[in-house]
Amino acid sequence: MNKQDLVEAVAKELDTSKAQAGRAVNAVLSGISKGLRKDKNVQLIGFGTFLVRRRKARKGRNPQTGETINIKASKTVGFKVGQKFKGMV
């Protein structure tokens, strides 16, 4: 399922237009993004938790040349699935 499929599913579930459903989906995604920037996690009970994870600096290898390279520390977004959602899948 991609974003357009999700918008269509929301429109059908709410019996509304695709434009309104698209705004609703965009609002939810924006809220999750803002929550991650502000609080470092967004917990949706029964669904799961989006959280910011930190990766330490490490050594890697360029697959084309085999040369060792330094990879900088970085942040990434992770998702920890909730028990109720895990049981559904």
Token pair belonging to 31:
């809220």
Give the side-chain half-sphere CA count within 13 A for 45.
Answer: 0
Residue 39 pLDDT exceeds 90: no
32 neighbors 50 (Cβ within 8 angstroms): yes
d(CA 34, CA 27): 10
Q: Which residue has the tokens 């989906």?
A: 25
Whether pTM exceeds 0.85: no
User: Residue 88: what pLDDT?
Assistant: 87
Per-residue pLDDT tens over the stretch 21-33? 999 999 999 999 9
Phi/psi of residue 79, each to 5°?
A: -135, 125
Three-state DSSP state, 59: strand
